[in-house]
Amino acid sequence: NPLKLFFLSRHIKCFIIFCLCLGLIFLHKELLMPYKPCRAKTNVMFLKTHKTASSTVLNIMFRFAERYNLTVALPADQLVHLGYPKTFLAHFVEEFEAIGQNYNIMCNHLRFNPSEVKKVMAANTFYFSILRNPIRLLESSYVYYKDNVPAFRFSKDVNEFLASPMKYYHLEHYKKNMYARNIMWFDFGYDNNAEDNKKYIQAVLKEIEQNFHLILISDYFDESMILLKHTLCWDLDDVIYFKLNSRSQDTVQTLTPESEERIKVWCSLDWKLYLHFNQSFWRRIEETIGLKELEKEVNRLRTRQKELMDTCLLDQEAVGKDDIKNKAFLPYQSGDANILGYNLKQDLDNMTLRTCQKMVMPELQYTSYLYTVQHPHKKRKILPLPLASFQEKTQLPTPN
């Protein structure tokens, strides 16, 4: 029947046209919104500032380095920091002469010096750092460095110190006193005793913006981790953490409202640094992730964190230094602070145990461990910890 055939062919024609249209729509969508899977950035430099939750970030960086077999710029020989508080020089890095500009990750304490850091890190390296509200920071610094910092030693408490800081703070002790005034300014490589001058501050802020791609804010730590993950195209598990190097609540001193106001003046360089980058932090979030998506992702992070804590931890939370059973995981202790650590569950399978150990491993131990893995022919680091030989006391692989 020719009529039937006609209709059939019409149907076929319609079908073909429909298909073509569909294809065109998809093609068009592809061209307009190309699906761009991002690739995780693996060349990353983290400027580790003091008393800003940066030990937790260092742990994240080390775990990431291990996951991707990256080369970490570690402190040379028996150094535990990259020369801090000296201004950074490339030869503070182990095997710099042999490895040259081929390190992927750098995150141990150093005093920033861009020209020397660039000798170590590849040209396409991503630079970031973290800042904390100077009010909280100074109180934390006071307790942690009470015995080490001349300016802190002779005052009764942080409020007494702030009532008349110049009574205790003497410029000739500048090499140890940076913890007492504008410590973040100092860590970024600038003069923490410089005069508060608008033009000077503007110039420094501009320079930091040129040198760093991202500045995180530790007062919004989970939000910071989400922004970091997005910016570096990392997985959620890469930024899951257990809070490291925190202190017990009973060693926190209460600042009077007057003291809080005094810190803004006493550490005015840091205060302005913080205000500036707190603003740009939130602006960046709004421009990239958006507040709604941020909240969702922060919740995802906290759920996953809780999951891992349930898997790994005996006590569900950090414990005081005297309650840490395996002394191999005892964090370095300082001043009047009781620095907390973790106990792991017994009977974890080998894979889980490995993951959990890495998450609770304090900074010095992890630095020393990676050093032994990366530089097997060098003498091991002797740590300023009660347990001299860390590897023997854990089930971590001992490199031959």
User: The tokens of 399 are what?
Assistant: 């490199």
Binding residue for ligand NAG, selected from 170, 395, 398, 399, defined by CB under 6 A: 395
Output the smallest distance, CB 350 to ligand NAG, in A: 4
In single-letter form, the type of residue at position 112 comes to F
Per this entry, what is the length of the chain?
Answer: 400
Judged by CB, which is closer to ligand NAG: 155, or 372? 372
Q: Among 29, 68, 253, 258, indicate the residue that binds ligand NAG (CB under 6 A).
A: 68
Using rule CB under 6 A, residue 115 touches ligand NAG: no
CB of 241 to ligand NAG, least distance (A): 21
Cβ closer to ligand NAG: 257 or 386? 257
d(C-alpha 120, C-alpha 95), whole Å: 10
Residue from 5, 350, 377, 386 in contact with ligand NAG (CB under 6 A) = 350
Q: Compute how many residues bind ligand NAG; rule: CB under 6 A.
A: 8
Taking CB under 6 A as the criterion, the residue among 278, 280, 352, 391 binding ligand NAG is 278
Q: What is the dihedral of CA 286, 291, 297, 303, to 10 degrees?
A: 140
Residue numbers 122-151 binding ligand NAG by CB under 6 A: 133
Reduced to 3 states (helix: H, G, I; strand: E, B; else coil), residue 306 is: helix
Q: Which residues contact 189 (CB under 8 A, 6 or more apart)?
A: 87, 111, 112, 113, 114
Helix residue ranges per DSSP H, the chain = 2-32, 54-67, 96-99, 114-120, 134-144, 150-153, 158-163, 165-168, 174-177, 183-187, 198-211, 221-232, 257-266, 268-288, 291-312, 350-360, 363-374
| CB nearer ligand NAG, residue 40 or residue 387 | 40
Two tokens, residue 140: 């934390």
Q: Which of 1, 69, 249, 346 binds ligand NAG (CB under 6 A)?
A: 69
Residues with Cβ within 8 Å of residue 352, at least 6 apart in sequence: 311, 312
Q: Which CB atom, from 131 or from 228, has the smaller least distance to ligand NAG? A: 131
Phi-psi region of 358 (alpha: psi -120 to 50; beta: other; left: phi over 0): alpha
Output the DSSP codes for 4-24. HHHHHHHHHHHHHHHHHHHHH
The residues in 1-60 that bind ligand NAG, with binding defined as CB under 6 A, are none
Name which of 346 and 350 has its Cβ closer to ligand NAG.
350
| Among 275, 291, 314, 382, interactor with ligand NAG by CB under 6 A | 275
Exactly one of 126, 174, 200, 282 binds ligand NAG (CB under 6 A); that residue is: 282
Residue 1 CA to residue 115 CA, distance in Å, equals: 85
Least distance between ligand NAG and beta carbon 395 (Å): 6
CB of 358 to ligand NAG, least distance (A): 15
Q: From the CB of 96, what's the least distance to ligand NAG, in Å?
A: 23
Sites of contact with ligand NAG (CB under 6 A): 68-69, 133, 275, 278, 282, 350, 395
